[in-house]
Amino acid sequence: MGPGREFDLVRAMLLRWGEAAQGLGDDGAILDVPAGERLVVSTDSSVEHVHFRREWMSPAEIGYRAATAALSDLAAMAARPLGMLVAISTPVSWLDDIPGVADGVGEAASSQGCPIVGGDLSRSSELVLAVTVLGSAIAPARRSAVVAGDSIYVTGTLGGSALALEALERGESPDPEHWMRFAHPPARIREAQWLAANGAHAMIDISDGLASELGHLAAASGVELRIDAGRIPVVRGSTARGAATSSEEYELIVTSPVALDVAAFEREFGLRLTAIGRAHDADRPAVLAFRDDVRVDLGLGHDHFTS
């Protein structure tokens, strides 16, 4: 790399990433996909003023969340990470904070055993972090794999991300537990491996909110999902509806034709795994929520989808 501020910044990032960055130096990254496995690729953009605000999070938290959003999509495919590429488009006003952003990206990648294998740096009018992740799996989990009779499970406890955001919008400090869910959610990569190995065959991660993601599963699989609203795992201070509409949780919804060993999962990961409903045959894809056998609105807006 030659002289200049851009290269200085790249050098600063590589120094901070250390062992987390691997195989850089050529025009492209070379990765080995384990024999018999399939390549899984996903990309995700985080845009200032759309996905985050500078005054709400540290540069490291912004980087961490952007990388986690991408890694969470690998989790949703039950894929193991092979590598991450990070494209940063930055205004001059952000230049001093880019090493901090890189710290957060590096932390998210390292925590999931994902090497950073490439990237790009350019100028723009707003900070944009475009994170591409590559992974592999023998049998990637799909949204379209839900079948009638499947039990529906969700990892973790929902609603914290929305409560933190609401507090910030009111100009208040979020509850620390809610703040951790908003600023520091882990991608459920290892959890997804366990769930797939134990029978889960359809998965999706919660970026838009439980209710919305259930809608995507139902539509992709052509089934009706019946949810017991009383079983939705709710963070302290939230409600079933608050939990169902809380976005960017990065927890997983999985369905399985066999009962999953909830206690074994919780022992392994120190994380809740909750059965919240069941899939049924239907003429039209739908998500229906009940509380004590009475239909309730989970904030989905509508219950039916055109396929």
Residues that bind Mg ion (CB under 5 A): 73, 76, 205
Least spacing, CB of residue 76 vs Mg ion, in Å: 5
Tell me the three-class secondary structure of 121-146, residue by residue.
Answer: EEECCCCEEEEEEEEEECCCCEHHHC
Question: Which CB atom, from 42 or from 238, has the smaller least distance to Mg ion?
Answer: 42
Question: Which CB atom, from 90 or from 212, has the smaller least distance to Mg ion?
Answer: 212
Q: For 13, phi and psi rounded to 5 degrees?
A: -65, -45
* Contacts for 131 with CB less than 8 Å, ≥ 6 apart: 43, 44, 45, 46, 66, 67, 69, 70, 84, 85, 86, 87, 105
Residue (of 69, 77, 31, 74) closest to 50 by Cα position:
69
C-alpha span between 91 and 104 (Å, rounded): 19
Least spacing, CB of residue 73 vs Mg ion, in Å: 5
Taking every pair of Cα atoms in the chain, the longest distance, rounded to a whole number of angstroms, is 68
Question: Which CB atom, from 71 or from 76, has the smaller least distance to Mg ion?
Answer: 76
| CB distance 107 to 183 below 8 Å | no
Least spacing, CB of residue 207 vs Mg ion, in Å: 5
Least spacing, CB of residue 1 vs Mg ion, in Å: 34
Question: Which CB atom, from 141 or from 227, has the smaller least distance to Mg ion?
Answer: 141
Least spacing, CB of residue 263 vs Mg ion, in Å: 28
Least spacing, CB of residue 210 vs Mg ion, in Å: 13
Question: Which CB atom, from 163 or from 253, has the smaller least distance to Mg ion?
Answer: 253
| CB distance 174 to 182 below 8 Å | yes
* Contacts for 267 with CB less than 8 Å, ≥ 6 apart: none
Where do the H-state alpha helices sit in 150-188? Answer: 160-169, 176-183
Report the residue count for the chain.
Answer: 307
Question: Which CB atom, from 224 or from 251, has the smaller least distance to Mg ion?
Answer: 251
Q: For residue 193, what are its two tokens?
A: 């491996």
Least spacing, CB of residue 294 vs Mg ion, in Å: 31
Question: Which CB atom, from 41 or from 95, has the smaller least distance to Mg ion?
Answer: 41
